[in-house]
């Protein structure tokens, strides 16, 4: 899953500064290259990132190359979406979900 203009590439190294210290809610997509549901979810995340520009930040983390963050939050399944606000997880979705479920998750942070 490639990062884009609206979806930031998150790593173990930049996680604290980009996600935990974000002044806006942050939706983190934890995924893996081999994960087909992750690939199906990526365009939806991209679309929502564009739609919520200025309100919510979005990022993608490859769990195979960045094991610290998934271990820290006990992520065992891909894809997992974690919604952060004020440095805390305030919502989570595990697996591929319809767009509306993700919108409902994002609403918790607004």
Residue tagged active-site, from 1, 38, 41, 42 = 38
> Following DSSP, what letter does each residue of 22-33 receive, concatenated?
-SS-EEEEEE-T
Q: How far is CA 86 from the centre of its chain?
A: 15
> Active-site residue 35, yes or no?
yes
Residue tagged active-site, from 8, 30, 35, 82 = 35
CB 92 within 8 A of CB 80: yes
> Active-site residue 83, yes or no?
no
User: Annotated catalytic sites, by residue?
Assistant: 35, 38
């Amino acid at each position: 899953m490639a990062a884009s203009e609206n979806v930031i590439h998150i790593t173990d190294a930049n996680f604290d500064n980009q996600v935990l210290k974000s002044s806006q809610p942050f939706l983190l997509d934890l995924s893996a290259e081999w994960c087909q549901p992750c690939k199906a979810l990526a365009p939806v995340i991209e679309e929502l990132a564009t739609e919520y520009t200025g309100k919510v930040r979005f990022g993608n983390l490859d769990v195979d190359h960045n094991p610290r963050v998934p271990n820290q939050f006990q992520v065992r399944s891909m894809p997992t979406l974690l919604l952060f606000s004020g440095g805390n997880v305030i919502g989570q979705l595990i697996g591929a979900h319809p767009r509306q479920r993700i919108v409902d998750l994002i609403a918790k942070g607004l």
